[in-house]
Amino acid sequence: MKTVTNFKYINRNKKIANYTQIVSLVILVGGFVISLNMTDANSLLYSTLALVLGFILFQVSVYFSNHWGRSPRPDEKLAAGLKGLEDKYTFYDYVTVVPQLLVGPAGIWILVPYWQKGSFSYDSTKKRWRQKGGNFLLKLIGQENLGRPEQDTYNMFQDLQKYISKEVEIPNLPSPQVAMVFLDENAVIEAEDSPIPALRIDKLKDFMRRQAKENIVKNDSKDNGAVDPIRKFQQLLPEESDSV
């Protein structure tokens, strides 16, 4: 499998994670110091503003750290989970309109990583995901919550579909598909009724191999020499990673 990565984008966001963390801590400490030495109403106002702003920046720093500040990053874990797929596959990492895209014999797949821990189930009646377990403190500040995967994945699908319909003219190109990938190998997933495939990272490679076997896209040898639409789509995307 080939990997094409936008390192400039990753490094920029890594710097944002570091800078916002430092600034948030400075502001929080400043607000705390002001609160210990309050002399008038203005001191209370400044202290409150500093604490609120510091907390917001801290949330931003945690978000960027979870995605880009720590190694292995979610995208690195996805690449590791796919390692061993044949050379016809390309994993596009922050180089297309969606963060992670896998293109190859299995088709066109948007891979959406989730690092949260615990048990996850899909309620087909309410059409919502439920999460149990995980880190209570992180969930309290919103960093361990699963959120709305159905909305997140739909938005990514729409972005890629719009790009394909506007920029790409390839006959018989299959529609993109989406998979939720849980990076914690101890995660428990109950998603038989989910309209979106959901699986653990250790199951991802086998899942793609099964999809390839079921894929009806013709390869070159079966299409009288015509260019495979999947390969033609790959040729329109970046072929090399940028410089670090």
What mean pLDDT do residues 115-137 have? Answer: 82
Percent of the chain at pLDDT above 70?
Answer: 90
pLDDT category at 216 given cuts 50, 70, 90 is low
Percent of the chain at pLDDT above 90?
Answer: 59
Looking at the predicted structure, is the pLDDT value of residue 192 above 90? Answer: no
Instruction: Please say whether the dihedral angle defined by the alpha carbons of residues 92, 95, 96 and 100, taken in this order, is positive or negative.
Output: positive
Q: What value, to the nearest 5°, has the Cα angle with vertex 112 and ends 111 and 118? A: 130
Looking at the predicted structure, is the pLDDT value of residue 244 above 90? Answer: no
Q: Name 89's Cβ contacts closer than 8 Å, sequence gap at least 6.
A: 1, 2, 82, 102, 103, 104, 105, 106, 208
Q: Are the beta carbons of 77 and 145 closer than 8 angstroms?
A: no
Distance CA 154, CA 101 (A): 14
Distance CA 102, CA 109 (A): 5
pLDDT of residue 38: 72
What's the distance, Cα to Cα, between the start and end of the chain in Å?
20
Q: Where are the domains of the chain?
A: 2-69, 74-235
Looking at the predicted structure, is the pLDDT value of residue 146 above 90? Answer: no
| Cβ atoms within 10 Å of 149's Cβ, excluding its own | 21
